[in-house]
Amino acid sequence: MTNSKFCQRDLGSPFSLSCSGSGAPFLDVTWTKDGNPTDIEPTTVSTTTEADHKIQSTMTIDSIKLYHLGIWNCTILNKNFGNTVNKTYELKYTYPATIVKSPEFDYYKGSKIVDITLTWVVQGWPLDQIRMDCGDISVSRNDDTASIPPQVTFTLVLRMQDVVNCVLINGGKVLETLNITRVGYNCEAGEGGVGKHCENCNTGQTSLAGIGDCFPANSSCTEGFWGVGENCTSCPENQTSFNGTVKIQECFPDVSYCEEGQYGYGTNCSVCPDEKTSTPNAKKLAECNYVRGANNQSSLVAAWTLAGLFFVTTVILSGVVFQKLLRGKCFSTDEGSTHEYVENTITEPPAKSFVAADTTYDNHELYKL
Q: What is the pLDDT of residues 32-42, one digit of tens each?
A: 999 998 888 88
Q: Residues 149-163: what's their mean pLDDT?
A: 93
Structural element, H or E, at residue 311: helix 292-326
DSSP letter at 275 equals T
Pairing of β 2-8 and β 84-92 = parallel
Question: Global pTM?
Answer: 0.54
Lowest average pLDDT, out of 122-126, 242-246, 342-346, goes to 342-346
Q: What is the pLDDT of residue 38?
A: 87
Residue percentage of the chain with pLDDT more than 70: 75
Residue of 29, 5, 23 whose CA lies nearest to 88: 5
Q: Give the residue, 336 or 54, on which the prediction is more confident.
A: 54
Lowest average pLDDT, out of 42-46, 78-82, 112-116, 340-344, goes to 340-344
For residues 281, 282, 283 and 286, what is the CA-based torsion angle, rounded to 10 degrees?
180
Rounded CA gap, 284 and 269, in Å?
Answer: 10
- With bands split at pLDDT 50, 70 and 90, how would you rate the model's confidence at 280? very high
Rounded CA gap, 101 and 91, in Å?
Answer: 30
SS3 call for 326: helix
What is the Rg, in whole angstroms, of the alpha carbon atoms belonging to the chain?
57
Q: Residues 56-80: what's their mean pLDDT?
A: 87
Question: What ranges make up the beta strands (E) of 171-224?
Answer: 173-182, 191-194, 197-200, 205-206, 215-216
Rounded CA gap, 192 and 336, in Å?
Answer: 98
C-alpha to C-alpha distances, 99 to 41, 154, 255, nearest whole angstrom? 39, 11, 57
Q: Residues 162-173: what's their mean pLDDT?
A: 93
pLDDT at 305 over 80: no
The total number of residues written for the chain in this structure:
369
Q: What is the pLDDT of residue 246?
A: 83
Helices (H) and strands (E) in the chain, counts: 1, 30
SS3 call for 287: helix
Q: What is the pLDDT of residue 332?
A: 43
Rounded CA gap, 122 and 101, in Å?
Answer: 7
Q: Residues 338-359: what's their mean pLDDT?
A: 44
Q: Residues 10-20: what's their mean pLDDT?
A: 86
Lowest average pLDDT, out of 180-194, 232-246, 330-344, goes to 330-344
Q: Residues 271-295: what's their mean pLDDT?
A: 84
Rounded CA gap, 6 and 92, in Å?
Answer: 8
pLDDT at 312 over 70: no
Q: What is the pLDDT of residue 313?
A: 58
Q: Residues 194-214: what's their mean pLDDT?
A: 87
Q: What is the pLDDT of residue 23?
A: 76
Q: What is the pLDDT of residue 154?
A: 96
For residues 319, 324, 327 and 328, what is the CA-based torsion angle, rounded to 10 degrees?
30
Residue of 96, 79, 99, 71 whose CA lies nearest to 29: 79
Rounded CA gap, 145 and 122, in Å?
Answer: 12
Rounded CA gap, 53 and 2, in Å?
Answer: 20
Q: What is the pLDDT of residue 338?
A: 44
- With bands split at pLDDT 50, 70 and 90, how would you rate the model's confidence at 205? confident
**Who's near 265: CB < 8 A, 6+ residues apart?**
240, 252, 253, 254, 255, 256, 283
SS3 call for 218: coil
Angle, CA 140 vertex, CA 134 and CA 143 arms, to 5°:
120
Residue pLDDT, tens place only, 216-242:
878 888 889 988 888 899 999 999 998
CB 207 within 8 A of CB 200: no
Q: What is the pLDDT of residue 166?
A: 94
Please, what's the b/e burial string for 107-146 (b: 16 or more CB within 10 A of its CB; e: otherwise)? bbebeeeeebebebbbbbbbbeebbbebeeeebeeeeeee
Q: Residues 293-315: what's their mean pLDDT?
A: 54
Q: What is the pLDDT of residue 318?
A: 57
Q: What is the overall mean pLDDT for the chain?
A: 79
Q: What is the pLDDT of residue 100?
A: 94
